[in-house]
Structure 1
Amino acid sequence: MKTILQSLSICVYQLRILSRNYKLYALPVCLFVFMWNALEPLRSFISSVGVNATPFLFSFLFDDIFLCPLLFAGILLFFTDAPFYDKQQLFVVLRCQAFRWSLGQIIYVFVISVFYTGFLLFLSILILFPHLSFKGDWGKIWTTLAITGAGSELGLSFGVSKSVLFDYTPLQAVALTFLLVVLICSLYGFLMWCLNLYLGRAISLILVLASICLVIRIRFLPTWLTYLCPSSWADLAGLSEYALHGLSLPKALVILLIGNIFLAVLAFFKTIHSDIAK
């Protein structure tokens, strides 16, 4: 219990350090501007038809092959300096031992992933304001975009899949997308942590960005490359298509869970056996 409490304290301490970092305040503004511009056709459509949209845009947001890599690239700003050591933390590491300090940093990665995904969900709702209808069904806007060609005519950069509307309730779709995005973000966080320790930060950033940006061309590449591009798994409609090639939603969740555990353990043991003060 003492180990867990101290690890949680380390996580809180890291969050306090982050609260004084400029990127915590600059990134949300940038994300809002990019999302606002990317979703301008959608807002114009909603305004023109005079029908409010239900707040379930988050379920379709990652179908946008240009916005999707941008959203996942944003989380990397919080992970580029993994394992999050600086000279000011030397006393903390010595006091609580590297074991508990590293465990606290693992918790920190998960917490940041949850907060970041929650912020994206909040932005997806804010973008629709004031044309919002808080109903429990999909509503006319998403149904119309799914069963007609209105999205293409409007120039929307993402599609509303009929498979998502028919296979999931709105809350199920949002919850599953949220879970996938959290797991993908934390996976990239632990991957950067490991690569930082083994290969250095420059190579780490290049490799992880390559994986994230691969989503732009993934539909035109051999299907096995899908396994090298977890950012493409956040799209429920895409997972329905990949199921034909062996990657279903349950399998994606299992891979992400196992991948997170494996990379977290690898990062943990590499950290506690490394001289991170160098």
Structure 2
Amino acid sequence: MKSVKISLIVAIQNIRKWRTNYRIWILVILTMIFVQCYTKEISTNALAMGMKSSPWLYPFLYTDRYIRILFMLPLIFIYCDAPFIDKNQIYILMRCKRKLWSIGQIIYIFMTSAMYFSLIAAMTIVLNIRNIEYMNDWGKVLGTLAFSNVPLVKGTAVTISTYILTYFTPTQAMFFTWLLSVLCGGILGLIIYGCNVISKSKVVGIVASGFLVILSAAVSGNEMAQWFSPVSWTTLNKLDVGKLTQYPTFTYVMVVYMTAIIILSVWIIKVIEKKDVGVMIREV
């Protein structure tokens, strides 16, 4: 239990620094603007139909490949200063085992990813609260936008996928979209962390993770290529249900995600254990 507590303290200490990190607040504001821009047309369409929309907008928010890039970039910039070392962290590192410190940093990465995508999901509801109402199903508004040409006529930025409406309940879609996004975001953070430590440069990690995000847009129209694009799996319309498409299955995606997380985490812990503390102090 003591080891877990130490690792959590390392993670929480990083989060506490957000209060004075203007970059974090700017990215939160930008994300809020993105959410508002890409969901307001749905509310507009709902008003035009004389109805209110259901609150289940999040599963469709970044189904479009270019919008997905916009929502992944802020997370990359939050992670860009990995391995998150400052004078305070050096002090903590010198007082605890490097393995526990590394685990704490990994926990921080996934806590950040979970908080970021939870914030996005909450924003889709809060920012449209006046034009939505709670209902157990998808509702007539989303159904109409999905199964008609209304999005083309009204210019809705977010694509309401008929695939998601047909094969997932709102609760399933919300949870699985959030879960896959969190895992993918965590993997991007681990990649940035590992690349930055090895290269001693913050550029390499951003380029590596940015490549994966851009790749998801580049292969968007190719079903077989989706098997090699982990960022594409954050949207449910790129997964196969019941062997109906050539997209990767949910089982395949989870196995790849968890395998990647384990390999990257072990790699990071090993790298930090071998790194000289004096060198890390000089790099701050």
Per the TM superposition, whether the score is higher than 0.5 is yes
Aligned counterpart, 2:14: 14
In structure 1, what is the equivalent of residue 264 of structure 2? 263
Q: Residue 39 of structure 1: SS of its match in structure 2?
A: helix
Q: Which amino acid aligns with 2:60?
A: F
Give the whole-Å Cα distance in 2 for the aligned partners of 1:41 and 1:126.
15
Unaligned runs of 5+ in 2: none
The one-letter code of the counterpart of 1:105 is Q
Aligned residues of 2:66 and 2:217 also touching (Cα < 8 A): yes
Mapped to 2, the partners of 1:39 and 1:222 lie a distance apart of: 27
- Cα deviation, 1:54-93, whole Å, max 9, x if unaligned, reads 1111111121222211111111122111121123322211
Rounded to whole Å, the distance in 1 between the matches of 2:15 and 2:214 is: 28
- The answer to whether the Cα contact below 8 Å between 2:39 and 2:124 also exists between their aligned partners in 1 is no
Contact 1:69 1:231 in 2 (8 A): no
Q: 1:177 & 1:208 partners in 2: Cα distance?
A: 20
Deviation at 1:221, TM superposition (A): 5.3
- Provide the rounded CA distance (Å) in 1 between the counterparts of 2:271 and 2:86: 17
Q: 1:172-210 CA deviation, whole Å, 9 max, x = no partner? A: 110110100100100100011111122332122112112
Are the aligned partners of 2:187 and 2:260 in contact in 1 as well (CA < 8 Å)? yes
**Structure 1 CA distance for aligned equivalents of residues 108 and 154 of structure 2:** 41
The SS at the match of 1:252 is helix
Cα deviation for residue 257 of structure 1 reads: 1.6
Q: Does 1:186 align with 2:189?
A: no
Partner residue, 2:253: 252
Aligned positions, number? 277
- In 2, the alpha carbon distance for the partners of 1:143 and 1:48 equals 15
User: Which secondary structure does the structure 1 equivalent of 2:158 belong to?
Assistant: coil
SS in 1 for 2:239: helix
Q: TM-score, normalised by structure 2?
A: 0.91
Hey, what's the Cα distance between the residues in 1 that align with 2:229 and 2:7? 31
- Give 1:125 deviation, angstroms: 1.2
Match of 2:215 in 1: 214
SS at match of 1:219: coil
Where does 1:214-233 land on structure 2 (aligned, <5 Å)?
A: 214-220=215-221, 223-224=224-225, 226-233=226-233
Match of 2:274 in 1: 273
Deviations 1:232-270, CA, capped at 9 Å, x for gaps: 111111223997335112211221121112111111211
> Distance in 1 between the 2:94 and 2:22 partners?
28
How much has 1:161 moved relative to structure 2? 1.9
Note closer, same or farther for the CA distance 1:62–1:250 as it changes in structure 2 (3 Å cut): farther
Q: 2:235 aligns to what?
A: 235
> How far apart, CA to CA, are the structure 1 residues paired with 2:21 and 2:28?
13
Distance in structure 2 (CA, Å) of the matches to 1:231 and 1:156: 23
Asked if the contact 1:53/1:128 (under 8 Å) is kept, the reply is: no
Q: Tell me, yes or no, if the aligned pair for 1:194 and 1:267 is still in contact at 8 Å.
A: yes
Structure 1 position 135 matched with structure 2 position 135: yes
Cross-structure match for 1:5:
5
* Counterpart Cα distance in 2 of 1:114 and 1:128: 22
Unaligned runs of 5+ in 1: none
Q: Which position in structure 2 is the counterpart of 1:158? A: 158
User: Could you tell me the TM-score, scaled by structure 1's length?
Assistant: 0.92
**Distance in 2 between the 1:12 and 1:240 partners?**
37
- 2:58 corresponds to: 58
CA RMSD of aligned residues (A): 1.9
CA change 1:27–1:43 in 2 (3 A) is: same
Distance in 2 between residues matched to 1:96 and 1:112, nearest whole Å: 22
Distance, in Å, in 2 between the alignment partners of 1:154 and 1:253 is 37
CA distance in 2, matches of 1:56, 1:38: 14
Q: Is the Cα contact below 8 Å between 2:46 and 2:53 reproduced in 1?
A: yes
Percent identical among aligned pairs is 25
| Number of the residue aligned with 2:202 | 201
Distance 2:132 2:126 in 1: 9
